[in-house]
Structure 1
C-alpha cells in the first residue's frame, strides 16, 4: 500500500518544485516572456483541446522513430557485442559518426524523403539509433566470460544462451539507452517540427513565439514537458515488467 502512494507523491514533489522555480523566475526576471504560472496553467487547461492534435502528432513521430531505432539498433548492438570481427569493423565507424551534430542532416532528409513526417522521423532515428547500438553493445561486452563457460558446460544451445544470458544483460542497457533517447528525441523533434508542418508541439511553440503570444508559447512548453514525462513513466513501467531484478524507479 505504501508503494502505491509513493508514485503520486513523488510526482507531486516534482510538480511543486517546477512550479516554485517558475514562480521564482516570474518574480525576479520580471519580463513578459515569462508569464505568470497560475494564469498560464489555467490557459493550458482551456487550450488543451487545441493542443491535443499537436501532442498526438509529436507523440506519433517520437514513438515511430524509437520503434524503428529499436528494430535497427538492438540487433546491430548484439551483433557488434557478440562478434569480435563486427566490433573491430563497425565500432570505429560508430565512434566517428556518433559525435557529429546530426540535426544538420535535416535538409538532406527533406530532399530525400520530402517535407512530411518521413523526413522528421528519419532525422530522429539518425540521431538516437547510435545510442541504442552502443548501449546494447556495452551490455554484451560487460558479460563475464565465465558465464559463457558455465552455459557451455551445461550444453546450452545458442538460443538458450541468448534467452538466459544475453537478454538479462542487455535489457537494463536498452532501458537506460531508451531513457537517453527520449530526451534526445524530444529535443530533435522540436527542431524538426519548425519546418514544413502544421501539427506538432515544436510548430505550436514557435508559432506562438512568432506572434508574441508568450502565454500560449509556455502552454506548448508545458505540453512538451507532459509528453516527455509520460514517456519516461512508460519506460519505468517497461523496466518493472522486463527487468524486475533492477531497482524500481517508479
Structure 2
C-alpha cells in the first residue's frame, strides 16, 4: 500500500514536470525570441556544463544554506524552548521578537554587508535571519501547545527533566520546526541568490548572473533549473526527516 502510494506520487511529479515543459515549449514557439530558448536547448546546455565548475557552484550554495539553517536552528531552538517553558522569559523576549519579526529581512542585506563584508559571513547570516524568527515563534507556540497533563503523566512515572525534554518537549518542537523550515526554505534560497551576486566567484546565484551578463540564455536557464533542483532536493530532505522522526503523527 505504501509502495503504491509512493509510485503514485512519483507519477504525479513526472506528469506535472512534463506538462510544465509542454507549456514552456508552447511559449517558446509563440515568442520565437532568443531570450526564451526551447527546453531541449536548455537541457542540452545543462549536459554540456563542466562537472567540476558545476559541483563547485552547487557545493558553495549548499554550504551556505546548511550553515544558515544550522545557525537558525541552534539559536531559534534555544530561544523558542526558553520562551515556551518559561512565562518570565516569554514576557521579556516576546516584545523583542514581535517588533523585529515584521522587518523585511532582505532589506537588511546592505546593513549586513556593511557590518560583515561581502564574504561568506554575510551570506550565511542573511539565511539565518530569514529562518530565525519563524523558528523561534513556531517552537515557542509548539511547546506552549503541549498539554501540561502530558508532563504530569511522565512525572508520575518517575521521569526526570531530561526524559521529559527528549520524550515530549523536543518532539513537539521538532514537528513545528520541520514545518517552518519547509515553508521558509524557498525564501531562504531566494535570499541566497541575491547574496551570491555580490563579492563571490562561486555559487548558483553568481553562475546565473554571469550567464545573463554574457547573454548566454541557455546556460542562464540551465542554472535556474539547477538552482530549482537544489531547492527541490532540500524539500525532499525535509520530508525525509519528517517521515523518519515524526512517525508518531501518522
1:45 to 32, 44, 47: 47
| Corresponding residue for residue 237 of structure 1 | 240
Alignment partner of 2:248: what SS? coil
Distance 1:141 1:13 in 2: 42
Which TM-score applies when normalising by structure 2? 0.91
2:116 to 113, 117, 141: 113
1:144 to 2:144 alignment: no
Alignment partner of 2:247: what SS? coil
Q: 1:14 to 1:149 in 2, by over 3 A?
A: same
Alignment partner of 2:49: what SS? helix
Preserved contact between residue 51 and residue 223 of structure 1 (Cα < 8 Å):
no
| Corresponding residue for residue 178 of structure 1 | 181
Alignment partner of 2:94: what SS? helix
Q: 1:79 to 1:35 in 2, by over 3 A?
A: same
Q: 1:108 to 1:242 in 2, by over 3 A?
A: same
Which TM-score applies when normalising by structure 1? 0.91
1:70-91 Cα deviation digits (max 9, x unpaired) = 1111111111111111111112
- Higher deviation after alignment, 162-171 or 189-198: 162-171
- Kindly report structure 1 stretches of 4+ aligned residues shifted beyond 6 Å: none
1:22 to 2:7 alignment: no
Structure 2: state its 5+ residue gaps.
Answer: none
Q: RMSD over aligned Cα, in angstroms?
A: 1.9
1:60-139 equivalent positions in 2, closer than 5 A? 60-139=63-142
Distance 1:44 1:55 in 2: 13
1:32 to 31, 34, 44: 34
Preserved contact between residue 51 and residue 220 of structure 1 (Cα < 8 Å):
no
Structure 1: state its 5+ residue gaps.
Answer: none
Question: How many residues are paired up?
Answer: 247
